[in-house]
């Protein structure tokens, strides 16, 4: 090969390497909110409160069994009345200064009028209900799930992580600010649904009431991502994930009806066999992956990620296939880049020697933003490609993926700055929430909706949510209160 060609090839290679490295360097320069350091802003008031008293309040609320069951007939709604009576005793100043409304029988709205009624309100929400404790695991709990035991530096019990802690922390923050004489510039609203765990109507009733008042919100915060310490593959140190949207929800009931008969003379195809093949085709033909919902997350995490990860995401034009394969190899990251398919129920047959005439299955789908329910159904229809398999939505629990809230808004920047102030050295990044929250109902009256719980979560802590030995430390609860004291002030400013 002539030396000229060698020089040209080397020049091209050097140019490509330089191009890739430059893109990587630019990519790794995450937004300022991700790189900020320091302590909580001293320009905002941080009124004193009793951390142990806050822990006792959470303990008392845990003891009130505001459980949402799949079967509403199992619910004991009187517990919600009892919990709300306790709130009146715990937070007298909130009940004196804020306007309290009850909607949907048990959901709560507290409105704290701001000094400037021309400004749009901000809203902080959480939910009062909790999931049951599995009867088969009761002997595995260190302390009974509804004891609210305060021991070993923790408050123990169902709801301490999901998410009565956030309800209590918001009340504590508002109570202490009111006692200190603080008045927000924007109106501040606290809203607590009563049936979030069963995708209920409480939040919808709250939104309907706010619409009646003609309100449009400046910003909203709900439960969501936390500060992960060791829970994100490849990420060093602490990373705070702020939910800016959430997946849609769809369950389809599949049905196949065939002629039954005796098992001694089976036909070549049976209802169970046909439906099983249809489900298998769905599982082996997943929805296509999409990286558009995770680009912002990985760019925010860049300062804490290895160079190889920065290199790959900065140059997806070259490494896209490799990135998708890597993300697809883990169930959590795979769920972040595609609409998921999860067969959850299969029913057929009544006796071992009778061919069933009918087989039914339920498959749950979590829809990635950008994928509509109609598009998901078209995918299902094309993949199964069998007119004998009929499907229809199950019940009324189906909704589209939410819009994605902006990350360049003032409210997102203030939230990120507040996180960095209280948890120095933490990087912040947006992400799409995989599960469902009450926040999805508020998009008709708010564009800036974020999901975040100011709590450091270790990998073992994540297993406690809806699991055994749910707990939160007294110190963590106190930090949540201080965090909300400051965020209420940040967000209530013009």
- Of the residues 75, 129, 197, 223, only one is catalytic, namely 129
What's the rounded Cα separation, in Å, for the pair 193 and 436? 14
Q: Do residues 386 and 271 make contact, with C-beta atoms less than 8 angstroms apart?
A: no
Which of 162, 196, 246, 470 does the annotation list as catalytic? 196
Residue 14 buriedness (CB in 10 A; 0-12 / 13-18 / 19+): exposed
CB 401 within 8 A of CB 368: yes
Instruction: Provide the CA 142 distance to its chain's centre, in angstroms.
Output: 27
In this structure, are residues 161 and 461 in contact, taking their beta carbons and an 8 Å threshold? yes
Please give the DSSP secondary-structure letter assigned to residue 230: S
Report the alpha-carbon distance of residue 239 to residue 226 in Å, rounded: 8
> Smallest Cα–Cα separation from 35: which of 454, 425, 431, 487?
425
The Cα–Cα gap between 118 and 446 comes to 16
To the query of whether residue 129 is one of the catalytic residues in this protein, the response is yes
Residue 20: partners with Cβ closer than 8 Å, 6 or more residues away = 311, 314, 315, 318
* 163-166 contacts at long range (C-beta below 8 A, 24 or more positions apart): 163/126, 163/127, 163/223, 163/453, 164/58, 164/61, 164/62, 164/126, 164/128, 164/130, 165/58, 165/453, 165/455, 165/472, 165/477, 165/480, 166/126, 166/223, 166/453, 166/480
Among residues 75, 330, 312, 362, the alpha carbon closest in space to that of 202 is found at: 75
Q: Is 196 a catalytic residue?
A: yes
CA-CA distance, 188 to 471, in Å (whole number)? 29
Label residues 205-214 b or e (16+ Cβ within 10 Å = b): bbbebbeeee
User: Which DSSP symbol is given to 175?
Assistant: H
Residues with a known catalytic role: 129, 196
């Amino acid at each position: 090969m002539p030396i000229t060609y060698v020089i040209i090839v080397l020049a091209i290679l050097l140019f490509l390497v330089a191009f890739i490295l430059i893109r990587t360097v630019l990519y790794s320069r995450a937004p300022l909110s991700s790189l900020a350091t320091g302590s909580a802003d001293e320009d905002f008031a941080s009124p004193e409160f009793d951390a142990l008293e806050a822990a006792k309040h959470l303990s008392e609320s845990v003891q009130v069994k505001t459980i949402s069951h799949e079967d509403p007939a199992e619910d004991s709604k009187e517990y919600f009345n009892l919990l709300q009576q306790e709130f009146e005793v715990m937070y007298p100043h909130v009940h004196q200064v804020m306007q309290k409304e009850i909607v949907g029988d048990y959901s709560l709205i507290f409105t704290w009028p701001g000094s400037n009624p021309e400004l749009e309100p901000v809203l902080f929400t959480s939910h009062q209900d909790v999931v049951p404790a599995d009867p088969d695991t009761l002997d595995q709990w260190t302390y009974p799930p509804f004891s609210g035991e305060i021991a070993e530096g923790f408050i123990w019990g169902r709801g301490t992580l999901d998410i009565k802690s956030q309800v209590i922390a918001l009340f504590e923050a508002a109570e202490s600010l009111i006692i200190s004489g603080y008045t927000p510039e924007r109106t501040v609203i606290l809203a607590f649904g009563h049936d979030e765990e069963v995708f209920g109507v409480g939040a919808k009733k709250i939104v309907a009431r706010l619409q009646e008042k003609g309100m449009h919100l400046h910003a909203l915060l709900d439960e969501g991502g936390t500060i992960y310490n060791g829970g994100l593959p490849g990420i060093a140190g602490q990373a705070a994930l702020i939910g800016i949207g959430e997946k849609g929800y769809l369950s389809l009931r599949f049905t196949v009806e065939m002629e039954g008969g005796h098992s001694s003379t089976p036909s070549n195809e049976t209802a169970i066999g046909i439906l099983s093949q249809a489900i298998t085709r769905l599982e082996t033909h997943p929805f296509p992956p999409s990286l558009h919902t995770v680009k912002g997350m990985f760019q925010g995490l860049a300062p804490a990620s290895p160079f190889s990860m920065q290199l790959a995401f900065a140059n997806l034009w070259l490494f896209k296939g490799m990135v998708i394969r890597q993300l697809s190899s883990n169930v959590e990251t795979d769920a972040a880049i595609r609409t998921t398919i999860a067969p959850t129920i299969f029913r057929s047959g009544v006796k071992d020697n009778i061919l069933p005439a009918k087989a039914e299955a339920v498959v749950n789908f979590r829809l990635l933003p950008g994928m509509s329910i109609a598009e998901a159904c078209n995918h299902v229809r094309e993949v199964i490609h069998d007119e004998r398999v009929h499907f229809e939505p199950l019940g009324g629990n189906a909704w589209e993926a939410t819009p994605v809230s902006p990350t360049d808004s003032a409210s997102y920047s203030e939230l990120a700055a507040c996180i960095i102030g209280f948890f120095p050295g933490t990087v912040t990044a947006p992400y799409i929430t995989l599960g469902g929250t009450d926040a999805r109902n508020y998009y008709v009256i708010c564009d800036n909706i974020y999901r975040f719980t100011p709590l450091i979560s270790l990998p073992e802590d994540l297993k406690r949510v809806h699991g055994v030995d749910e707990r939160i430390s007294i110190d963590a609860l106190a930090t949540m209160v201080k965090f909300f004291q400051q965020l209420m002030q940040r967000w209530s400013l013009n």
